[in-house]
Amino acid sequence: MRTQLLIIFSLFFVLSLLTTPWAGIARAGLVTDGAGRQVMVPADPRRVITFAPNLAEIVYLLGEEQRLAGTTTFSDYPPAARELPRVGSYVRPDLEKIVALRPDLCLASQDGNPRHVVDRLAAMGIAVYVVNPQSLSGIMTAVKQIGTLLHADKRAAELVAAMRQRIEAVARQVAARSDRPLVFFQIDEAPMISAGTNTFIHELITLAGGRNAAAGPVAYPRYDWEKILALDPEIVIISSMAGGRTKEELLAGWRRWPQLAAVRNNRLHVVDADLFDRATPRLVDGLEHLAGIIQSGQESAGAQ
């Protein structure tokens, strides 16, 4: 009797080991995604559709691009992503094109993708995993989540570790200095738009050792020249996508105001927009670039 009980208990013990997370994540099952939804994900997704450019980028970074079956327009990094079939834009994904590609897993972004498309696909039995990266640590979580879904846990861990290392390096640089210059980040022109507190840009400016002039509750507040003159930022960063203008036009717009400290000291910089608004590990490139600008003191305008 006791031997039988012992055998039964051992069997239970072995079975419970087999069902613990580290042995079982790779198989199909019900998981909770970044938006708190319950999703039944396939064990080995082979036809993945991404609903945003940053998600496609993350899949390529994880080295799992062979699983991709389609993506939205504007997925242009890396350049190979341009060859993927398109399923509409990320604000208007085309339901029919998505269903026609027979995906076994869709990756969506809570910020931007319309909720009703996700709900319609889920109602049709297509697995949609929503990620919600709101900060650098959110991006690291999303990379790990996607890595788990696509059997790229090791690569995901490497990416996250590399990101952490570089962020910490910047933090050490910043800690060594005492000044925190006022930085104004221009996203768009006519109307002039900057980034408030709940944005990646704010986080990058703060980590890079600056103070965001547009910090506040509105995510993308509008500014006019009067407000900017009153703020008088020390450094001005201009996104290359602002209003579709050329670099010279953007800089010329600011140089009309020699009263501004940033103009007098020639601290106007145009930066690559993609390094600052896409929720991917490339944001760390943006962070390093920004840190370089802020901490370099006097630097000539137009650093790319």
Partner 1 sequence: MHNSFFSLTTRLLALCGLLLLIMALCGLLALAWGSSSGISLAKISETLQTLFCAKARDSVAAAIVWQVRLPRVVLAAVVGATLALGGLVFQALLRNPLAEPYILGVSGGSAIGAIIGILLGLSPFPGVTATAFVGSMTVLVLVLLLAAGVSARSAVSRDTLLLGGVMMNAFCGAVIMFLISVSQTAQVHHILFWLMGDFSVFSVEQLPVLLAVLPCFLIIFLMARPLNLLLLGRETAASLGTEVKRVSVLLLATTTLMVSIVVSQSGLVGFVGLVIPHIFRTLLGPDHRLLIPASILGGGSYMILCDLLARTLPAGGEMPVGIVTALVGAPLFIYLLWRSRR
Q: Residue type for 31, please? A: V
Least gap, CB of 119 to partner 1 (angstroms): 8
Q: What span, in angstroms and rounded, lies between the C-alpha atoms of 271 and 186?
A: 10
Q: Which is nearer to partner 1, 164 or 227 (CB)?
A: 227
Number of neighbours of residue 10 by Cβ within 10 angstroms: 10
Give the alpha-carbon dihedral of 217, 221, 227, 231, to 10 degrees. Answer: 60
Q: Candidates 110-118, 129-137, 153-161, 254-262 — which segment interacts with partner 1 by CB under 8 A?
A: 110-118
- For the chain, what is the HEC assignment? CHHHHHHHHHHHHHHHHHCCHHHHCCCCEEEECCCCCEEEECCCCCCEEECCHHHHHHHHHCCCHHHEEEECCCCCCCHHHHHCCECECCCCECHHHHHHCCCCEEEEECCCCCHHHHHHHHHCCCCEEEECCCCHHHHHHHHHHHHHHCCCHHHHHHHHHHHHHHHHHHHHHHHCCCCCCEEEEECECCCEECCCCCCHHHHHHHHCCCEECCCCCCCCCEECHHHHHHHCCCEEEEECCHHHCCHHHHHHHHHCCCCCHHHHCCCEEEECCHHHHCCCCCHHHHHHHHHHHHHCCCCCCCCC
Shortest reach from residue 220's CB to partner 1, in Å: 6
Per-position x/- string for 211-230, each x denoting binding to partner 1 as judged by CB under 8 A, each - no binding: --------xx----------
Q: For the CB of residue 73, give the shortest distance to partner 1 in the complex, in Å.
A: 7
Applying the rule CB under 8 A, the residues between 7 and 66 that interact with partner 1 are none
Task: Give me the torsion for CA of 94, 98, 100, 106, rounded to 10°.
Answer: -170
**Considering beta carbons, is residue 115 or 247 the nearer one to partner 1?**
115
Site for partner 1 in 67-106 (CB under 8 A): 73, 86, 88-89, 91-92, 94-97, 99-102
Smallest gap from residue 211 Cβ to partner 1 (A):
23
CB of 278 to partner 1, least distance (A): 15
Least CB distance from residue 244 to partner 1, whole Å? Answer: 14
Minimum distance between the CB of residue 120 and partner 1, rounded to whole angstroms?
Answer: 6
Considering the complex, state which of residue 63 and residue 221 has its C-beta at the smaller distance from partner 1.
221
CB nearer to partner 1: give 219 or 252: 219
Q: Closer to partner 1 at the Cβ: 202 or 269?
A: 202
Give the residue, chosen from 27, 82, 115, 256, that forms a contact with partner 1 under the rule CB under 8 A: 115
Q: Can residue 243 be called a binding residue for partner 1 (CB under 8 A)?
A: no
Residues in the interface with partner 1 (CB under 8 A) total 24
Q: Give the range of 11-19, 24-32, 50-58, 118-126 binding partner 1 by CB under 8 A.
A: 118-126
Tell me whether residue 51 or residue 170 sits nearer to partner 1 (CB atom).
51
Residues lying near partner 1 in the complex (CB under 8 A): 73, 86, 88-89, 91-92, 94-97, 99-102, 112, 114-116, 119-120, 123-124, 219-220
